[in-house]
């Protein structure tokens, strides 16, 4: 299986929980699929059809800290602007809040679109991960052929909600899966498992239900740990149910 492998590094990143608006803005520990979709679109220069696009990643950061920021909360107003005859339609107040920020993020992204390689060698827009101020740089962009192996290790990644792993090894998180720019930026959400650290897929004590994959696609460039290399679990920007039905068809 030939894929595009992209390594991105930066100084800061923050992946805001979309349902927190004022007071405090916590960050996900790793980028939601919708953030990955936006990042790919930025490099390509336009929104793309998510059908058939699959991705996997490994994401780390050195630590998480809080920074004090502020926003201007606007409301409707009446009257005129001071010293003019211009109508006053809005007024705002400054609201301070605490934002969680990840320090020294590193993303290794795998996408089943090797033909997009030129877009990441010469991206259309500034390279950022999440917020526009979180500028990053691509440190390696290449096509690779994945190996298929019966065992691998999984580390610092996002897994499907139904992946057969004990809950003590991961955190269940509701994340935005995709934002439809052509439908008023409507967001679709889905549950995922956030895996922090490293686990070996040949450890029988990790399985909770169902059966693991018979083989794992493996990155041949990843470090070897106890004879294993990094396995990849690919995700989709499409709804899980739709994707499953399409694969069965």
Give the residue with greater pLDDT, 61 vs 89: 61
- The total of structural domains in the chain comes to 2
Specify burial of residue 182 (Cβ count, 10 A radius: 0-12, 13-18, 19+).
exposed
| pLDDT (tens digit per residue) in 166-223 | 767 789 999 999 888 777 777 889 999 999 999 998 887 776 566 778 899 999 999 9
Residues in the chain, total: 249
Over residues 87-134, the pLDDT tens digits come to 887 877 787 878 899 999 999 999 999 999 999 999 999 999 988 899
**Residue 57 and residue 118 in one domain:** yes
- What distance in Å separates the CA atoms of residue 123 and residue 106, rounded to the nearest whole number? 18
Measured between alpha carbons, how far is 53 from 237 in angstroms, rounded to an integer? 7
Going by C-alpha positions, the residue among 187, 180, 236, 178 that lies closest to residue 34 is: 178
Range of the domain at 192: 2-67+98-248
Residue 48, judged by CB atoms within 10 A of its CB (0-12, 13-18, 19+), counts as middle
In a shared domain, residues 86 and 201 = no
Among 29-38, 160-169, 231-240, top mean pLDDT goes to: 29-38
Cα(136)–Cα(143) distance, integer angstroms = 20
d(C-alpha 32, C-alpha 47), whole Å:
17
Q: Are residues 186 and 73 in the same domain?
A: no
Residue (of 177, 203, 170) closest to 191 by Cα position: 177
84 shares its domain with 176: no
Q: What is the rounded CA–CA span in Å between residue 50 and residue 239?
A: 10
Domain final residue, candidates 52, 76, 97: 97
The average confidence (pLDDT) of the chain is: 87
**Per-residue confidence (pLDDT) for residue 241, from 0 to 100:** 43
Place of tokens 């107040």: 93
The verdict on 90 and 148 lying in the same domain is no
* Domain co-membership, 77 together with 159: no
| Domain at 187, CATH number | 3.30.70
Domain endpoint, select from 77, 97, 117: 97
Same domain, 53 and 147: yes
């Amino acid at each position: 299986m030939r894929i595009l492998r992209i390594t991105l590094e930066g100084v800061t990143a923050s992946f805001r929980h979309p349902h927190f608006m004022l007071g405090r803005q916590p960050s996900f520990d790793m980028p939601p699929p919708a953030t990955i979709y936006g990042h790919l679109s930025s490099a390509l220069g336009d929104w793309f059809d998510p059908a058939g696009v699959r991705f996997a990643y490994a994401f780390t950061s050195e630590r998480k800290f809080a920074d004090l920021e502020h926003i201007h909360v606007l409301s409707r107003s009446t009257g005129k602007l001071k010293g003019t005859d211009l109508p006053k339609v809005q007024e705002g107040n400054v609201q301070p809040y605490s934002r969680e920020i990840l320090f020294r993020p590193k993303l290794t992204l795998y996408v089943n679109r090797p033909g997009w390689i030129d877009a990441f060698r010469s991206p259309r827009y500034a390279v950022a991960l999440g917020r526009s101020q979180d500028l990053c740089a691509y440190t390696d962009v290449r096509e690779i052929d994945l190996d298929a192996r019966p065992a691998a290790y999984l580390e610092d990644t996002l897994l499907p909600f139904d992946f057969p792993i004990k809950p003590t090894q991961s955190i269940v998180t509701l994340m935005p899966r995709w934002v439809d720019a052509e439908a008023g930026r409507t967001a679709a959400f889905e549950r995922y498992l956030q895996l922090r650290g490293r686990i070996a897929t040949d450890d029988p004590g990790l399985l909770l239900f169902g059966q693991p994959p018979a083989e794992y696609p493996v990155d041949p460039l990843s470090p070897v740990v106890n004879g294993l290399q990094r396995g990849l679990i690919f995700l989709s920007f499409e709804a899980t149910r739709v994707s499953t039905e399409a694969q069965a068809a």
